[in-house]
Structure 1
Amino acid sequence: MSRPIRKTQAIAPFGPGAMVDFTGPASLIHAGLDAWPFDEANPEHREFRIDDEKRLARRLGVDFFVQPPDFRRPDRNGGQQRNLNLMLPFLRFPLWHVCPRCGRMHKGRYHDRDAPFCKGPISTGAEAGKMHPPRKTFQVRFVAACTKGHIQDFPWVEWVFEGKPGGWEPDGVERWLRMTSSGTASLAGVMVLAEERGESGRSSVVARRSLAGAFTTEADPAGGTGVSTALSQMGANCTGVNPVLAIGSELRPAPGNCGEPLFALLKSAANLYFPSVVSSIYIPDINDNSLPQDLLDLLDDRDIRNRLREGAMDSDNGLVSVRSVTNALAKYHPESTVQPAVLAEAANRHLLHGILLEDRKTRTFLDQRIKTAQDGQLPLGAVEAAVRSMNWSIDPALLLDALRAQLSGHGKNGAQESDDSMIEEASYRQQEYRVFSRDLQVGYPKTDLDIRGADLAQYDTLVRDAFSRIGLLHKLRETRAFEGFSRLYSTGLTRNEQRALFMEEQKNWLPAIVVRGEGIFLQFSETRLQKWVDLHGADLEGRLSLMRQNMDALAVRRHQEPRAISPRFVLLHTFAHLLINQLVQNCGYGSASLRERIYSAEGDSPMAGILIYTAAGDSEGTMGGLVRMGQQDRLEEVIRLAIDKARWCSTDPVCIESKGQGPDNCNLAACHTCALLPETSCEEQNRLLDRGVVVGTIDNPAMGFFADWS
């Protein structure tokens, strides 16, 4: 079935496991990675691989990522093309369909390209018992899911017979189901009937039941922590059906070992699918002050790196040869003036350790040697053994520092990179924060990350007092990787449980997309922040207690762990929203095209920064307008206007005096008029916002961080 979907949508919101309503109409579910048109052994598919985001790959426990392939038709002019007609896999779901003429229900199959056709018989009216002209059926609106991520068709037979069908099964000839509607908006108006063909040829109703009460959920009557649903009360529990892997068909029956309560849902329900997408800003892994900039950029070029790595793996001694460098430059960068011998020497110093670590056996061996070492450092002897196993001629000492940096948990940027710390988002963002806090002008490639610090002395008092650094990201690259999904609740499944839902055979890759753009990084003054907290800490804690109560209640409803909410985070988050709203007006970007990235932490490694950025799927990124707004003659005006507009909302005093508003009442002084953004731009789904911590309140105007600036 051919249906269009954008590459970025294939990660979120329509990643594996998501149900998508296409024109037709047709409701399809995105199938698992086992059916994706990607073959690691096919050299033509290498163009879809993302090999250079090692930081994110280590965090998610994979070797690389794969971009959804774009659909390509054959060239009419006969030009050479590759990877033609590749399509992402989608399966038909739900399987039950209903006839718009007579209401009779028909069950399709996962791989059916078209919906079933119905001819009747008609059940009511003057034409009762007669067949009607063939009509195309459409899929029902109702499905059922469990907290383990399984999803299946609504158990129609069990529901009609109240859990006691007595062996009654629809065969489509002598027995069938029929759905009728009275036209009312309630579920009581939807009636499901079980019918049989009688001896006279006319149908007779065996059982009937409306859908009233099908969505009822109650606390566990046994007093446990679980719930009891209307379906589970009649014995209809989950059997492990998973259309994402085509489990639940005649060829692949459900295992029947899940046993979790089934929840009745509309197929368009917001809690039917929660994708887990992990975002990462690319940080170069090459740092060598002795190399010129053009050479550094070549080492970071994706095409050059891949060709040189392939040349090293195919060579007799495992080294990048001058010949392979010459061929790579001639194909991808014929304009380059870099000498092939110089690039070959640099590649052997900076790229070969990555080839070693791509081999799982070698990486496991090196990890074990680190654990057994007394000083916790990778010994030179282990590197020598690894080099011998690859039959390389390179001096192992040249790879020692790079391998230690990758395996000991300390990357080139000085940030912790151990597997344990990667689990925590704050620890992961520490790496980006430390890089953004300094210029990447000497010793780093600038192909995908170009940071230039602005001179704070050139800005006015407002900027100099509030911020300790302004970083202008002329180039940035973001990788958004799909990690898994859950249903009903956004949390509760482990990584292995999530991945078992969309890949039957464990793979060493995950889907991801790469976008490029630009941004402005604002680092708040730690001294100014601490002074603000010391002066107004009690007032801030009292005000934010209302927000914490609502967030804790939300966590309980969603089966999530409670989270700490600090005045620092609310300040950074709200200011980012105010700044984005003002940038939209000043530089002409659409509000949904700008995104925020919050860096907030207290303790020994404090963070207090925001990144406002825009990114697009184009290989060249964006046009530079956002960086221009961060320069000395523009940023002060943008910040001042954002603060001035935050002082008074058109819905005040209702907004500023609110005790809880917005999504789940998790905001204080923040509404659509003053501080909310499109949800795709906000990391917190428009929660944890309060203008009061930025500009103060009516009762306590001095409490705001920017209250002293006019």
Structure 2
Amino acid sequence: MTPKDQKRFKVGELRPSQALTTFGVGAIIDLPNLSVMVMGLEDWPLKDTVEIGEQRLLASVKEVLGAQVAALRSAPVVPDTHQVNQFDSSALVGIPVAPFPRWMVCPYCRRLAPLGGGLFKLETPYRTDQIRYVHANCTKPGKPPTVVPARFIVACKNGHLDDFPWRNFVHGGPTKCQGGLKLLEPSATGEASSIYVQCEADHGLGYRDGKPVLLSRPMSDAFKMDLQALPVCKARRPHLRDHDECGCKTPIGVEVRAEPMLQGASNSWFGLTLTALAIPQASGKLKQLVDDHWTILEKVQSEQNIELLQAVTPQLRDLAEYTPADIWQAVQTKKTAVPDQGGDPSDLKTPEWEVFTDPGSAETGRDFQLRAVPPPKRYAKYFEKVVLAERLREVRALVGFSRIESPSDYDNPAAFPPNQRARLSRKDPAWVPASEIRGEGLFFHFKESLIQTWVKKNETLDGRFFEAHQRWRTARKLDPPQDFYPGLRYVLLHSFAHALIRQLSVECGYTTASLRERIYSRNPGEEQPEMAGVLIYTAAPDSEGTLGGLVSLGRPEALERHLDQALDNVRLCASDPLCAEHHPYRDGITLHAASCHACLFAPETSCERGNKYLDRAVLAPTVETGESSELAFFR
């Protein structure tokens, strides 16, 4: 928008968690009449955000983005205490956006022009959801038609995004021509080969039936990368309103060429998020409560401040049984304590593994409560224990985003190449967007000796997955190709999690997309002890995540029935024998074996590795392996 048009209009609604997972900084959002891009953190209204406390996650974010990050904050939200008047200032609270792409098309006359060219006019009606741009001078009689975004853009793997170079493309290179452009679609198929860009200024450049014709070019030429139809990436960052000062080059200094992309392409934005569960870090109930409310208590300067906060802050009601003097003493102790330098801040799963494998030593709190139960009798030889997580709190933080290449190719988002991680702000951020979810879950602790014996027995399958892993990374030019291979034990744990999620969703009261996995897998020989566990928990950001339906299925008598049914379901698939015969490597296209949407795949919100490293044959015999197969872990 121009400075004259830069007004705050509320045009849509998102859930707070969507500001991290789907429509975060740099993502494109389709509104009723236009598409917009979420702006960088400098434009976010800080006064409307709420600080979220989770020290482990904050330390991991600092490891990625720098020590200047001081807080995790929620997206700007309006309290749900009363009905907001649309004329009140609180109705304007939200995430800032700007129109993108800037090139628009008139659906009637097919005129193609940028918003800054003055051809299209912004209309702001009474209903803010009807904000639109119109072609006031269109030849269409009556009401001016609403223009729509041109659905072609360009992007690169370094996170840059730009409008499609329409003029240079139709002219086959750099040009000074300022003639009018049209985007013609003579066919209704919508294919790129049936869409043409036409320049109206150049007559006589070609002849058809003996008559001069206008210069035009099919959009299919843009997708023929061998012709190099598109220019070098300009390193534009529209969410920051600037261009990258370092330019756009590969690590070895080669200039990157922009790639064509559709506006609504699923690979136009991938959020890089770090996730941690809020687990007790202090010994003693009072110390743990101080930790839980540290975002408020760290600012107090005296005992009188605590008395005042207890009177006006509902969040501190958990501390009502303690005197202000006791609380002040605990706050001083925490402030003067020497920070624990042990452990890797980027390793978020190891502390959680230690708590889940020893639930009796964990401090119980408002957001964390564990209860160990014996495994079902028929499965006692496979599991050390089953833990019911009756209360959980998950916190996610957005540390960047990528385009074209998904971060699920890496075992940890923090390992994503820094040159391909797009920035959230022009300067190093002092805070990052975060969200918290409260829910419940089931934790399965596998027997380590049994896992190691099974992996050693199936080294052939391990080699196949390793080969597929290398082909996958080689096809995407990820070096070195052997890095980040999770091992065959991860395939087993991952496949088990997907099979159980699909089964539990039938009866627990949650949809499949509302359940999420957290895999604890570490192979022998690494720096820390081995891990073999699966946590299945609710990932819904609303009250659905606290109904108790998932924990109720963790009782031994109920869990045995669900495990039986989950393993029986993976024996056969509606796509057999094609599914059962699928190999994990096929020229780097796939990274899974016997699995598909009909049997083992899970929604994107549920899986932490993008439905890769899956094979139902490691759980139970299939039509390919046969009943006598030694590959199945559960027998």
User: TM-score normalised by the shorter chain: which range applies?
Assistant: 0.7 to 0.9
Q: Cα gap change, 1:279/1:99 in structure 2, threshold over 3 Å: closer, same or farther? A: same
Q: Paired residue for 2:397? A: 481
Residue 49 of structure 1: CA displacement?
4.4
For residues 230 and 576 of structure 1, the distance between their equivalents in structure 2, rounded to whole angstroms, comes to 45
Q: Paired residue for 2:356? A: 436
Alignment deviations for residues 159-196 of structure 1 (CA, whole Å, 9 cap, x no partner): 1111142x212xxxxx3112212115332322222224
Q: Cα gap change, 1:205/1:86 in structure 2, threshold over 3 Å: closer, same or farther? A: farther
Q: Paired residue for 2:229? A: 230
1:637 lines up with 2:572 in the alignment? no
1:682 lines up with 2:607 in the alignment? yes
Task: Give the counterpart of 2:372 among 419, 429, 453.
Answer: 453
Residue 344 of structure 1: CA displacement?
2.5
Task: Give the counterpart of 2:224 among 185, 197, 216.
Answer: 216
Residue 560 of structure 1: CA displacement?
2.9
For residues 159 and 271 of structure 2, the distance between their equivalents in structure 1, rounded to whole angstroms, comes to 11
- Please list, as runs of the form range in 1=range in 2, the aligned pairs for 1:216-615 lying within 5 A after superposition: 216-218=224-226, 229-231=228-230, 236-247=231-242, 257-258=247-248, 259-288=255-284, 293=285, 295-296=286-287, 298-302=289-293, 305-312=294-301, 315=302, 321=303, 323-331=304-312, 332=314, 336-350=320-334, 352-353=335-336, 399=337, 403-405=338-340, 408=341, 410=342, 416-418=343-345, 422=346, 427-439=347-359, 444-454=363-373, 456=374, 459-490=375-406, 497=419, 501-534=423-456, 536=457, 540-561=458-479, 562=481, 563-604=484-525, 605-615=529-539
Contact 2:51–2:71 at 8 Å: present in 1 too?
no
Gaps of 5+ in 2: 1-8, 125-130, 204-211, 249-254, 410-414
Task: Give the counterpart of 2:46 among 33, 38, 48.
Answer: 38
Alignment deviations for residues 398-449 of structure 1 (CA, whole Å, 9 cap, x no partner): x3xxx142xx2x2xxxxx235xxx2xxxx4322211121111556x351222
Contact 2:454–2:633 at 8 Å: present in 1 too?
no
- Please list, as runs of the form range in 1=range in 2, the aligned pairs for 1:16-95 lying within 5 A after superposition: 16-24=25-33, 26-38=34-46, 45=48, 47-50=50-53, 52=55, 53-60=57-64, 61=66, 62-71=69-78, 85-95=92-102
Contact 1:48–1:69 at 8 Å: present in 2 too?
no
For residues 406 and 112 of structure 2, the distance between their equivalents in structure 1, rounded to whole angstroms, comes to 33
For residues 70 and 543 of structure 2, the distance between their equivalents in structure 1, rounded to whole angstroms, comes to 23
Q: Cα gap change, 1:161/1:132 in structure 2, threshold over 3 Å: closer, same or farther? A: farther
For normalisation by structure 1, the TM-score amounts to: 0.74
For residues 419 and 585 of structure 2, the distance between their equivalents in structure 1, rounded to whole angstroms, comes to 35
Q: Cα gap change, 1:239/1:572 in structure 2, threshold over 3 Å: closer, same or farther? A: same
Q: Cα gap change, 1:510/1:344 in structure 2, threshold over 3 Å: closer, same or farther? A: same
Q: Paired residue for 1:224? A: none
For residues 115 and 83 of structure 1, the distance between their equivalents in structure 2, rounded to whole angstroms, comes to 23
Residue 141 of structure 1: CA displacement?
0.8
For residues 404 and 164 of structure 1, the distance between their equivalents in structure 2, rounded to whole angstroms, comes to 58
Count of aligned positions: 577
Which fold has the larger relative contact order, with Cα–Cα distance below 8 Å and residues 6 or more apart in sequence? 2
Contact 2:398–2:434 at 8 Å: present in 1 too?
yes
Alignment deviations for residues 92-142 of structure 1 (CA, whole Å, 9 cap, x no partner): 0111111112111221149967554335576xxxxxxx9986322211111
Q: Paired residue for 1:673? A: 598
Q: Cα gap change, 1:417/1:553 in structure 2, threshold over 3 Å: closer, same or farther? A: closer
User: Which amino acid in the other structure matches residue 624 of structure 1?
Assistant: G
User: Which amino acid in the other structure matches residue 34 of structure 1?
Assistant: E
SS where residue 359 of structure 2 aligns? coil
SS where residue 685 of structure 1 aligns? coil
- Work out which of the two has the higher radius of gyration on C-alpha atoms and give 1 or 2: 1
For normalisation by structure 2, the TM-score amounts to: 0.82
User: Which amino acid in the other structure matches residue 672 of structure 1?
Assistant: H
SS where residue 512 of structure 1 aligns? strand
Q: Paired residue for 1:622? A: 546
SS where residue 158 of structure 2 aligns? coil
RMSD, aligned α-carbons:
3.3
Q: Cα gap change, 1:558/1:88 in structure 2, threshold over 3 Å: closer, same or farther? A: same
Gaps of 5+ in 1: 40-44, 123-129, 170-174, 199-203, 219-227, 249-253, 316-320, 354-398, 411-415
For residues 575 and 595 of structure 2, the distance between their equivalents in structure 1, rounded to whole angstroms, comes to 10
SS where residue 583 of structure 1 aligns? helix
* Identical columns (%): 30
For residues 683 and 76 of structure 1, the distance between their equivalents in structure 2, rounded to whole angstroms, comes to 37
Contact 1:281–1:477 at 8 Å: present in 2 too?
yes
For residues 80 and 382 of structure 2, the distance between their equivalents in structure 1, rounded to whole angstroms, comes to 54
For residues 499 and 657 of structure 1, the distance between their equivalents in structure 2, rounded to whole angstroms, comes to 37
For residues 23 and 517 of structure 2, the distance between their equivalents in structure 1, rounded to whole angstroms, comes to 22
Contact 1:593–1:614 at 8 Å: present in 2 too?
yes
Contact 2:466–2:487 at 8 Å: present in 1 too?
no
Q: Paired residue for 1:100? A: 107
